[in-house]
Amino acid sequence: MRGEAQPTVSVIGLGYIGLPTAAVIARAGMQVCGVDVAQTVVETINRGEIHIEEVDLDGLVRGVVQRGLLSAATEVAPADVFVIAVPTPFAKDGQHTPDISYVLAAARSVARVLKPGDTVILESTSPVGTTEAMRDLIAAERPDLKMPGLTEAIADVSIAYCPERVLPGRILEELTNNDRSIGGITPRCARKALAFYKRFVRGACVTTDARSAEMTKLVENAYRDVNIAFANELSMVADAMGLDVWEVIRLANRHPRVNILSPGPGVGGHCIAVDPWFIVHGAPDETPLIRTARGVNDAKIHHTIARAAALVAANPGVPVACLGLAFKANIDDFRESPARLVAATLARRYGDRIRVVEPYAAKLPIEFTDTGATLVDIDDALETCGVLIVLVDHDLFRSVPLAERAGKAVYDSRGIWPDQPAQAEPEAQRKAG
Ligand code: SAJ
């Protein structure tokens, strides 16, 4: 491979995964064309700017665009390697059925420009079998090309599944340093994809088949969901028993083989609350645990609303600060966020008593319109609010010293203030818990 000319690359889908991936590949010296259906996204990137927030991404994109290594377009053009990073949401049937239509649409657009020797890699989190479905679609569109797994001869193109594993807020670092699973439709496809990832990934790249790689990605997020569900269930048990769940977890985690995760107001984001359903959908009768974990994490959102509402009701007339809207700490992503749901529910119930603090928001999301709730900064909230409801563990909130919280009624759903004195629990609150 060394000494060979760098391949040209097309990255289809320029969202939270596609754009950083395109930029990192360009930084490694490859010529990259990013493709997105949104004209505004394409124009933004071609100006060297970005449309999403991610640590250090702005400087990286500006640099590779200025050096002429990254450009964006709305149509797929010929390239040597195609990386597909488009969304795989649920279908609108209310059954948590995976919708792979964006993947198939991207594969169709790639099929039009595919030539012998090319490699097509799917990165989107996908139900098991999607890479083969993509291969079948390309085979139907391009009968002139010999496809891997469908021919005895050496295939004309390589097709592989290589999931990303990056954590929002640490994407650039994790894109380069995390290990990767690389699943080929055939071993030859896997080797071809491996050679590509070796050009910009420092972590170990482990080859396997496409179906195992698809399942691996789903398993990683389901594993985390099940473990968070355990922590969330414990928090509800602790509330029922009048125990401090954080103290219990701290003590239990001193056992050398116990590592309980942190309870929160529920599980948010676009991966952990979604991907387990892709496994359930694939094997509905074999997945009671994964399904139940989803149910527990969703139930925790309603438990949080009930506890928060009981505290608000127990302090009539007192202004209330909801701390955080993001789906997790120190990011600006408010989509699929339990914190946002809890705060909006309180805003609808208690109107202008609710003050929201979210350092990453310029204004309140749409559902707060006409509720009377306002967006304030942390100083304002600490000065004016007698009730504090912690929904996100942003560093800004963690750093509030006890002196500034003393005398306030607090519900800390994230356990960020272990020094907060326990309060006599009002009757209404105990019942809600
Ligand atoms: N959460 C808890 N308690 C915990 C840990 C997390 O309540 O102890 C909550 C968070 O507050 C958040 C949700 O879970 O609402 C998910 O947050 P996260 O930080 O666990 O994960 P994501 O969704 O940001 O990213 C996950 C990661 N997967 C795993 O850690 C197995 C990431 O590596 C994946 O690349 C990403 O999903 C993805 O794209 O699939």
Predicted confidence (pLDDT) per residue in 228-270, tens digit: 999 999 999 999 999 999 999 999 999 999 999 999 999 999 8
Q: Is the pLDDT of residue 343 over 60?
A: yes
Instruction: Quote the tokens at residue 374.
Output: 């306002």
Q: What is the pTM of this model?
A: 0.94
The pLDDT tens digits for 183-206 are 999 999 999 999 999 999 999 999
Burial 259-286 (b: 16+ CB within 10 A, else e): ebbebbbbbbbbbbbbbbbbbbbbeeee
Quote the CA–CA distance of 55 and 53 in Å, as a whole number: 7
C-beta 267 within 6 A of ligand 1: yes
Q: Which of 7-16, 62-71, 330-339, 357-366 has the lowest mean pLDDT?
A: 330-339
Name which of 318, 336, 319, 315 is nearest 327 in CA terms: 336
For ligand 1, is residue 272 a contact (CB within 6 Å)? Answer: yes
Encoding tokens for residue 418?
């272990």
Distance from C-alpha of 250 to C-alpha of 367, rounded to nearest angstrom: 37
Sequence-distant (≥ 6) Cβ neighbours of residue 361 within 8 angstroms: 325, 332, 334, 375
Cβ neighbours of residue 129 under 8 Å, at least 6 residues apart? 211, 214
pLDDT of residue 169: 86
Contact assessment for residue 212 and residue 251, using Cβ atoms and an 8 Å cutoff: no
Residues 6+ apart with CB under 8 A from 392: 323, 324, 325, 326, 328, 329, 339, 358, 414
Measured from the CA of 331, which atom of ligand 1 is nearest?
A: 24
Which residue's alpha carbon is at the smallest distance from atom 4 of ligand 1?
A: 262
Token duo for residue 78: 């010929």
CA 12 to CA 154: how far, in whole Å? 26
Q: For residue 282, what are its two tokens?
A: 């694939």
Classify 171 as helix, strand or coil: helix
For the CA of 297, the nearest atom of ligand 1: 7
Query: How many A from CA of 161 to the centre of ligand 1?
Result: 21
Answer yes or no: is the C-beta of 82 below 6 A from any ligand 1 atom. no
- pLDDT confidence tier of residue 332, bands split at 50, 70 and 90: confident
Ligand 1 mean position, distance from CA 327 (Å)? 9
CA 385 to ligand 1 center in whole angstroms: 31
Query: If you average pLDDT over every residue of the chain, what do you get?
Result: 95
121-149 pLDDT, tens digit each = 999 999 999 999 999 999 999 999 999 99
Mean per-residue pLDDT, 319-334: 95
